[in-house]
């Protein structure tokens, strides 16, 4: 099974969200700020377009890859749930390495906050990622949807009403 960046991201946020997403249940545009990275990128960095390539490998799609410096640029509106964005970017680095790219790096960019965060892949990450893949595969193939997590972040989630508002 080929995983997408969203599988990795949601795995690090909520297993229920991962399961719902994988099984085709979606409620976009209710609560979640569906970040359009491309649009944000064009607005924040219009001069950079020529430098980057879009890369599709296995299940992932990297919108802004700089092949010269081997850097993936990921543009975000906010640093909320940053751990999940970092994990997603690490997965992209892992897939690039799997396809022979030598020591790529990632850069999380927050143009609105004027901040950046460099993301690298350590040996510990290289060991952990196959476990993420196995765990995700096992989770999404369960017949039952995992339980709600009752966390503050649920209020920002597109599944909020589905999860908490009784019919």
Q: Give the binding site for ligand SF4 (CB under 6 A).
A: 14, 16-17, 20, 148-149, 153-154, 157, 159-160, 163
Closer to ligand SF4 by CB, 114 or 155: give it.
155
Angle at CA 10, nearest 5°, toward 30 and 21?
60
Interatomic CA distance for residues 3 and 91, integer angstroms: 10
Residue 18 Cβ vs ligand SF4, minimum distance, rounded to whole Å: 8
Interatomic CA distance for residues 69 and 84, integer angstroms: 24
Read out DSSP for 107-145? Answer: EEEETTTTEEEEE---HHHHHHHHHHHHHHHHHHT-SSP
Closer to ligand SF4 by CB, 124 or 166: give it.
166
Residue 61 Cβ vs ligand SF4, minimum distance, rounded to whole Å: 23
Interatomic CA distance for residues 52 and 13, integer angstroms: 29
Closer to ligand SF4 by CB, 45 or 160: give it.
160
Tell me the residue length of the chain: 167
């Amino acid at each position: 099974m080929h995983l997408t960046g969203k599988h990795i991201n949601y795995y690090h946020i909520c297993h229920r969200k991962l399961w719902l997403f994988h099984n085709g249940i979606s409620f976009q545009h209710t609560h979640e700020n569906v970040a359009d990275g491309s649009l944000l990128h064009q607005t924040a960095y219009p001069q950079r377009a020529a430098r980057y390539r879009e890369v599709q490998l296995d299940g992932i799609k990297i919108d802004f890859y700089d092949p010269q410096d081997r850097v993936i640029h990921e543009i975000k509106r906010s640093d909320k749930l940053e751990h999940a964005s970092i994990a997603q970017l690490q997965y992209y680095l892992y897939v690039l390495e799997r396809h022979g790219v030598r020591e790529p790096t990632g850069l999380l960019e927050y143009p609105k906050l004027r901040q950046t965060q460099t993301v690298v892949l350590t040996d510990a990450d290289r060991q952990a990622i196959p476990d993420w893949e196995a765990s995700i595969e096992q989770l999404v193939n369960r017949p039952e949807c995992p339980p709600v997590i009752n966390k503050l972040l649920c209020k920002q989630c597109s599944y909020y009403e589905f999860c908490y508002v009784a019919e």
